[in-house]
Structure 1
Amino acid sequence: MNDDLLILRLAVQNSLIGCVTSELRAVYVKIENKIIYFKMVFDGEISDYWYETGSEIGTEIVSHFSDYSINEDFIRKDYPEKLDYPEFICLYKRYEL
């Protein structure tokens, strides 16, 4: 694993501490061409809390990288719809039966 990916994983997981609510289903990331792709998947309507908090998390993540930009994506995908993003690394996934 390269250093940027390791730093990204730690930055995302650290940024999520104390923020996760029941509607957050999963968090995915990938790095490509100096762009961090940050995808948050929600069950139900995405609240104002998450639009604001998600942007703050994105800002905190990209602050660990001097020459990268971030692409934030907030997606509604209600349970039991399958989560399938094979090109991304899953850093958080809520427990679902």
Structure 2
Amino acid sequence: MKQAILFVVGAMLSACTQGGGQGSSETDLQGSCEALVSAETGVQAADVNAVSTESVPTGTITTIEVTGAQAPWLCLADATGVIIGVEYSQEG
């Protein structure tokens, strides 16, 4: 019984540390997303900027602004932080 209570308390404490502020792992993820979008678009890295990262049930979605693009790019990562793809947010 004590082990179950410790597990629940531990899980609650670890949940408190997730998502608050911009941690180094989020900064690293955004940098990786910027690099991938830069490579995909052929736009130099200085003109590709992550503007937000949102947690979703399957992981995260980072919104990337690219100079000259009419809409942002999206960078999708799984729950472990592995990037699974980038895509342009506007059809066309």
For the superposition of Structure 1 and Structure 2, which TM-score range results when normalised by the shorter chain? 0.3 to 0.5
Write 1 or 2 for the structure with the bigger share of helix: 2
Give the greater-gyration-radius structure (CA): 2
TM-score (norm 2): 0.36
TM-score (norm 1): 0.34
